[in-house]
Amino acid sequence: MLSTIRIVLVGTTHPGNIGATARAMKNMGLSDLALVTPRVFPDEQATARAAGADDILANVVVYPTLSAAIADCQLTIGASARLRSIPWPQLTPRECADLAGRQARGSRTAILFGREHSGLTNEELELCHFLLHIPSNPEFSSLNVAAAVQLVAYELWVANASGDAAVEPAVPLATGAELESFFGHLEATLWDVGFLHERRAGDSTMRRLRRLFNRARLEEPEIHLLRGILTTMQFRLKGGKE
């Protein structure tokens, strides 16, 4: 299971945190580290803080957008130190590890960690199926990003070592790229049919629809079915003409 986990750091400011994350990952058998628009990387501070996890740093992939970093992932979980105003399915680190361990063979899971001072934005969390919240002192709840990765990585290691989690049937789930393409198609169709008519209301509606479909964990055939329905609706709106 550990080989299917991708740790994604978004907008990391201090390169030392990247190195410390690599060390935390190697401690717990993780190896896939992705960076989204880090301020500085590569950097000697990252190498120094990695303390021997140089192989993980050497294989880091830097992405220009979060969507690109999770494009091939079937399950995306975003870490947040604070609870958001919009209800989102929420997991503890242990629940996160259990869920990751029950994914179908070949599925990839991305676990996202945000900026040191502000975390993940609401827009970035909208790309996630679940929100990961680490219980801590409510008066001082912000964890260092590498410390947060270490806690989650430990739970993943324990879940992997236990071997108790049942593996779900190997039905191909939609990837991040397929979901984003579907959401774009859905929004365009809803504007076309007049269901969306104001930008602010449209944003709110799409946020709720994202939450609904992410909760459903769509399979690839279901995505194709829904895309077919949307295409037919758009075709009929044009009077059946291309």
Q: What is the pLDDT of residues 84-137, one digit of tens each?
A: 556 678 999 999 999 998 887 789 999 999 999 889 998 999 999 999 999 888
Q: Are residues 158 and 180 in the same domain?
A: no
Q: Are residues 24 and 91 in the same domain?
A: yes
Residue type at 235 in one-letter notation:
F
Domain membership flag for residue 157: yes
Secondary structure percentages of the chain, helix, strand, coil, to 5: 50, 15, 40
Q: Are residues 42 and 78 in the same domain?
A: yes
Print the domain residue range for 80.
Answer: 2-162
Domain edge (last residue) among 162, 193, 211: 162
Domain membership flag for residue 170: no
Tokens matching residue 135: 């219980």
- φ and ψ at 194, to 5 degrees? 85, 5
pLDDT at site 44 = 96
Strand order in 109-113's β-sheet?
A: 61-63, 32-36, 5-10, 109-113, 75-79, 130-132, 90-91
The answer on pLDDT for 142 being more than 70 is yes
Q: Which residues contact 219 (CB under 8 A, 6 or more apart)?
A: 171, 172, 173, 174
Q: Are residues 15 and 123 in the same domain?
A: yes
Mean pLDDT of 203-224: 91
Q: Looking at the whole model, is its pTM more than 0.75?
A: yes
Q: Where are the beta strands (DSSP E) in 37-83?
A: 61-63, 75-79
Cα atoms in the 13 Å half-sphere on the side-chain side of 72: 7
Cα-to-chain-centroid distance, residue 187: 21
The answer on pLDDT for 166 being more than 60 is no
For residues 44 and 136, give the distance between their C-alpha atoms in angstroms, rounded to a whole number: 32
The mean pLDDT value of the chain amounts to 90
Q: Are residues 124 and 214 in the same domain?
A: no
Domain edge (last residue) among 162, 188, 215: 162
